Chain A
């Protein structure tokens, strides 16, 4: 479904991605792990065409999105939903207007049907009856859940999650993880998340890719990566800041 080949990206003199290649199949739940500032979010934004690589190709269902202009990309992006790190809700719109933004913009359905789908999406993220509230009235966890409702209300094929549990308390984080898992299982979407939260990675993925020094360092089934004895993976998964003498 998504094929990334030899993608490189520089910001000034700093090379963030140095020949990243990966494949993601339809229906997978993939998590990309790696150090903070290691380019995970940059890679995620490349997958949806928010950023263009300096070189390399990214194919979505066979279409190379690296050669498309912004208007052509709008068509491809209809396949995607994305939950941003800070939710990125439109702060001048109510929760209901945020969630229904795409549906109303497309104008393909009646207002009654749009309201039904908004309510359905808010029910799915366990936030019924808050449609009238403004984003500024919501907690961090609630904002992320509304962001998730906005990302899934139009039934995308692929849902991207940028650090979905960052800044949340453990209970709120677990709640988000469960919702991501439920969205993947019930809507049969392809789920791609970037995180450095290992508990979250264990819950929401069936395959993990590790981004290290601008490249995909390792990939495999979730349990295999989390139990790996490779020094780089082991230190990251277990949060060990310096190599131990035994290594």
Chain B
């Protein structure tokens, strides 16, 4: 709530926002690309092995594309961001809390939410959909490469079936989910950091709690978002 109120009181610093955008968006690319590629290749192989039994090899591309776009892409990218970015945010803010840097900020008439939370929150909202899109594209390309070069699926049929059965709502569902997941990671991680108690042990505990709480929240929210968005787009 305080993050929303912050919009009315203080314009976030562009310098801090760009710094966080670089840390979250640019430096997380290797993680989400690797995750997308690995997931796409495995999903392709597993789907092919089952579909091959009923002579539906060329439908593999469609399953991978829809699965990556609407479910696996956003969820796995969000979980990886929770581990890489969320943990870092909680540890950084928690250390600032236990070393009185947050109190120092308050004495300097700066609200911690305006100064520390908003740049991270906005950077995650901007980065999460872009990173998810990148992860999905890499996953689909990887699955195509595995399907065509290792599993012997005809490239033309693979691509035609993929584009025929993957609808814009599938892609949109994934992007909306990633936007929400980005907000969850930022809110949970910053909250745990700013309410951290004690010394080094407290920071460690807060970081663990942040990763667990954000991960579980993402998985639960994903289920309800799937139901909600499918009704919105397909009813």
Contact = CB atoms under 8 A, between A and B. Distances in A.
Nearest to B102: A88
B101 A50 contact: no
A70 interface: yes
Interface string A149-162: 01100000000100
A88 B101 contact: yes
A73 B9 CA distance: 14
Interface string A76-112: 0110111011101111000000000110010000000
A90 B103 contact: no
A81 B109 CA distance: 10
A75 interface: yes
A81 B111 contact: no
Contacts of A81: 107
A86 B99 contact: yes
Given A86-B100, A88-B99, A88-B101, A71 B111 contact: yes
Contacts of B100: 84-86, 88
Chain B interface size, as a band, is 10 to 19
Nearest to B112: A70
Interface in B103-145: 103-111, 115
Given A70-B111, A88-B100, A50 B106 contact: yes
Interface in B47-75: none
What class of interface size applies to chain A in its complex with B? 20 to 34
Interface string B194-210: 00000000000000000
Contact of A102 (B9, B96, B99, B108): B108
A75 B103 contact: no
B89 to A, nearest CB: 13
A150 B115 CA distance: 17
A74 B115 CA distance: 13
Contacts of A77: 106-109
B203 to A, nearest CB: 14
Which of A81, A91, A105 has the most CB atoms of chain B within a 10 A radius of its CB? A105
A74 B111 CA distance: 7
B9 A71 contact: yes
A82 B111 contact: no
B129 to A, nearest CB: 27
B111 A84 contact: no
A203 B109 CA distance: 29
B109 A84 contact: no
Contacts of A86: 99-100
A48 interface: yes
A45 interface: yes
Which of A74, A75, A82, A102 is the most central at the interface, judged by chain B CB atoms within 10 Å of its CB? A74
Nearest to B106: A50
Contacts of A85: 100
A45 B100 CA distance: 11
A74 B103 contact: no
A74 B104 contact: no
A88 B110 contact: no
B1 to A, nearest CB: 12
Given A70-B111, A71-B111, A75-B109, A84 B103 contact: yes
A70 B41 CA distance: 51
A101 B108 contact: yes
24 contacts: A45-B103, A48-B107, A50-B103, A50-B107, A71-B9, A74-B109, A74-B111, A77-B106, A78-B109, A82-B104, A82-B107, A88-B99, A88-B100, A88-B103, A88-B104, A89-B101, A90-B96, A101-B108, A102-B108, A102-B110, A105-B108, A105-B110, A105-B115, A160-B107
Q: Which 8 A-B pairs have the closest CB atoms?
A: A88-B104, A88-B100, A82-B107, A74-B109, A77-B109, A78-B109, A102-B108, A84-B100
Given A74-B106, A82-B104, A90-B105, 7 more contacts: A77-B109, A80-B107, A86-B100, A88-B103, A88-B104, A90-B104, A105-B108
